[in-house]
Structure formats: structure tokens, C-alpha cells
Copies of this chain bind each other. A is one copy, B any other.
Amino acid sequence: MTTIIVETMPKAELLDPQGKAVAGALARLGTSTFASVRIGKRFEIVVDGPVDDAILAEVRTVAEEILSNSVIEDVVGIHVVEAAI
């Protein structure tokens, strides 16, 4: 079992209302350390057996076409974690 991590974030040029809300809440709670917060998604995809180039290519396609909405999100990372967490 191998876990592949896919990370997506809202595009930099778009407002991220969820992140803005969290940043505002942190400021109201008295934490002035943080300049901004943006919130994206982290997918853990489990594959039976080892990961080869064909599976990685398939993950890349799925990440771009299904897991993320390419109008508003970017896929920012695809990593392979050897043992399932």
C-alpha cells in the first residue's frame, strides 16, 4: 500500500473567502502574527502495491481534471509517501 498526496490551492489571483474568514477570526482572537491565510485541499490517495510512472501519470491526470477545478484551483504538489499513514 502506497499513499500519494495531492495538494490543491485556490489560484493566487482569486480571493479565498474561507481563508479570509480564518485570517479575520485569528486577528479578532488577538493573534496578529499572521499576514494572510489561504485554504486548499489535501488528498490522500491509497494505491495497492508500488507506484510506477503509469500510476503517477494517472494521478496527475486525475488531479488536474477531477480533484481540482482548474478555473479556480492549482495543483501545487503531488508526492508519494511509501508506507500508508
Contacts of A39 in B (CB 8 A): 41-44
Closest residue of B by beta carbon distance from A37 = B45
Contacts of A72 in B (CB 8 A): none
Write the A43-76 contact mask toward B (1 if CB under 8 angstroms, else 0): 1111110000001001000100011000000001
Contacts of A76 in B (CB 8 A): 85
**What 8 new A-B contacts, CB under 8 Å, besides A34-B45, A34-B47?**
A12-B85, A19-B44, A33-B55, A34-B46, A35-B47, A38-B44, A40-B44, A41-B41
Residues of A within 8 A of B (CB): 1, 7-9, 12, 19, 22, 25-26, 29, 31, 33-48, 55, 58, 62, 66-67, 76, 85
